[in-house]
Structures are given as C-alpha cells and as structure tokens.
Amino acid sequence: MQTTAESIRVVTDAAGPVELSLVVPVFNEEESVGPLIERITSAMVDFSRPWELILVDDGSTDATLVNARRALGQEGLVLRIIELQRNFGQTAAMQAGIDAATGRLIATMDGDLQNDPKDIPSMVAELERRELDLLVGWRQNRQDGLFLRKIPSWCANYLIGRITGVKLHDYGCSLKIYRASIIKQVKLMGEMHRFIPAWVAGVVPSSRIGEMVVTHHARQHGKSKYGISRTFRVILDLLSVMFFMRYKARPGHFFGSLGLGLGALSVLILLWLFVSKFIFGDDIGNRPLLLVGVVLLLGSVQMITTGILAEMIARTYYRDDASPNYIVRKIFDRDNKDA
C-alpha cells in the first residue's frame, strides 16, 4: 500500500507543538549521515523551542538508511526517517519531508555536510526579526570547484534572477528557512528545488524573501552528484519556471499568442499573394512564399487548438489532482525503529 502525505503528518513531540522541523534529503550518504545527525544535535542544543529532524532517504543503495536508524531513540532527539520506495530525486524527497513536517517553521539543508547546521538558529532569528516568509542561505565563500560548480552556479543564478525577478545571490543553496504555512502552499515538481524562491514569490511578495550569508564546507565524503551538465538542465527548468509563473493558470494565452502571431504573418503573406495574383496577374503557383503562407496558417490553427486543449487539461488537473509526487515505503521513529 502506498503511503500518502496525509498519513505521515503526525505529532512527534509530546512536550508541545513543534516550532521547527529540519528536513534533510539524503541519497547514498552512508559516511556522512552519522556525523550529520551529530552536528545537527550539537548545533541545536541551545535552541530553546521544540524541534524535530526529518531525514528523507531518497532510495539510497548503500548503508545510508542503516546508519541513520542507529540514531533513533537518541536522548534529546526527535527523529523521523522517511524511506522512499525508490530514488525520486531531491525535489520529491524535499517535498516528502515538507509534507511530513509539523513545525511552524521548516528548515531544509543538504545531507553531505557542506551546509553547517550551526547557522540554523541564527537564520530562524533573522527570519523572525525581518518578518520574512523565506530566508535563503548565501554561500558567499563557497568551497566547491570553480569550473564544475561555481561558474555554472553563477550563470544559473543570473538567469534565474533576470527571468523570475527574485534577486538573490545563491538560488542553489539548500539551507533555507520557511514559514510552514507558506511553503506548504507550493507544490514542488520535477527538479525544481533550486527555483523554490521563485515558486514562493508566486504566493507572497518578493519583499518577504531574503537571504543571509552562511557557512559552507568542502565535501568530506563521497562525490558530488552534480556536474557541468546541470547547467543545461537548469536552462530547461528555467524555461518551465517562466512558463508556469506567467501562464500556469492560462496556458491558452501562451499558445494562443503564438498562434495569433503566426496567423497574422500568414494573412499578410497570403494577402500579398492575392494582390499579386489578381491585381498584377503574376503566377504564384510555384512561388515558395505560397507554401510558407499555408504552413504558417496551419501552424496558427494548431497553436490555437493546442492552447484550448491546454486550458482544459490545466483546469482539470488543478481541480482534481491531490496526489503527492513520491511514494513512501516506511517511516521510522523512536517507537518503531526496528520496523
């Protein structure tokens, strides 16, 4: 039986409502997950409000899950581990953790020890001081390779900022603090985790999105799962983000605009050929321009028809779809750590 988001929203701290849920997706981080939990526990020792840690194992094929389960039942740690049925990707894993979170605030970070959990308490204080809905970490002194990580990231940040209008220095930093009531209004899809600020900007004014300089460490274990190919995926994802931000509720306007443009150009071409044929007596039967005009006319009809179908599909989808984009296999907590 597949476990849905509704079934994993459970209260985890009997001492009172959870104030902060820390969501960490992990995938094949067997050497990092143990030290990660220790660092988080140490960093949060002076955090005076109730908090929980949610690890989402995104279909790891190594000992990540086994190593993580050793921390279940640890004194002073409210830990839940969500095991996904297979590798769904970081975005889906993050969505699973957000759906399971019960805190008023939600923090997310990577599981590779490059983000520093010591920044979390100060980020929470900064978010509340500035009355923000989203605070994004800025890896100002980023400890990554120049050509494979930094330069593609700089290019991506520039493009995202230009197209979305949300000006941040570091979209790719996973260390973020959200108000749960806001991020739970956003459904993450595909590989769109790096565009979360843009999605949030569709729910709240961009003035309620801020950034803060955070610590960044070099990777200690394993190898990076990203490379130069990520730049091309970001460009494709960015086009999707631009489409959804501007035309999510009205895709017919996008396709219709293209169709009307092609139709107008077709009408001009065919009108000129009509005048050329019947006013000036020219032979237009073998002219390539006639074929171009007819093709543009057919393309116009096709685009307008596609727009109508897209409107119908979008309205049906947003009305009826409530299913999550992940499948949970098991959930481990201190009461069933050996399940």
pLDDT tens-digit profile of 126-184? 999 999 999 999 888 776 555 556 666 677 777 777 777 788 888 878 899 999 999 99
Closest CA to 197 of 232, 220, 226, 169: 169
Q: How far, in Å, CA of 172 to CA of 152, rounded? A: 11
Q: What is the pTM of this model?
A: 0.74
Average pLDDT score over residue span 55-79: 93
Q: Rounded CA gap, 325 and 140, in Å? A: 33
Report the distance separating Cα 284 and Cα 70, nearest Å. 80
| Residue 8 confidence (pLDDT) | 40
* Each residue's pLDDT tens digit, 23-43: 999 999 999 999 999 999 999
pLDDT at residue 318 in the model: 64
- Of residues 76 and 105, more confidence is placed in 105
Mean residue pLDDT across the chain: 83
| All structural domains of the chain with their residue ranges | 5-247, 251-316
Give tens-digit pLDDT for 265-288.
999 999 999 999 888 888 888 888
Each residue of 297-321: pLDDT tens digit?
Answer: 999 999 999 988 988 887 776 666 6
Assign domain 5-247 to its CATH superfamily.
Spore Coat Polysaccharide Biosynthesis Protein SpsA; Chain A (3.90.550.10)
- In this predicted structure, the answer to whether residue 73 has a pLDDT above a threshold of 80 is yes
Maximum average pLDDT range among 5-19, 68-82, 235-249, 276-290: 68-82
- Helix H or strand E encompassing 136: strand 134-138
Structure tokens, 324: 């999550």
| Res 234 pLDDT > 80 | no
225 compared with 166, residue with greater pLDDT: 166
The Cα 176–Cα 32 span in angstroms is: 20
- Is the pLDDT at 224 greater than 60? The verdict is no
Q: What is the DSSP string of 193-261?
A: GGGHHHHHHTTS-GGGEEEEE--B----SS--S--THHHHHHHHHHHHHHHHHHHTT-HHHHHHHHHHH
Q: What is the pLDDT of residue 180?
A: 95
Residues 6+ apart with CB under 8 A from 305: none
What's the confidence (pLDDT) of residue 9?
39
- Rounded to whole angstroms, the Cα distance separating 233 from 248 reads 20
Q: Which residues, in sequence order, are CB contacts of 20 under 8 Å at separation 6+?
A: 47, 49, 50, 51, 52, 103, 104, 105, 106, 107, 120, 124
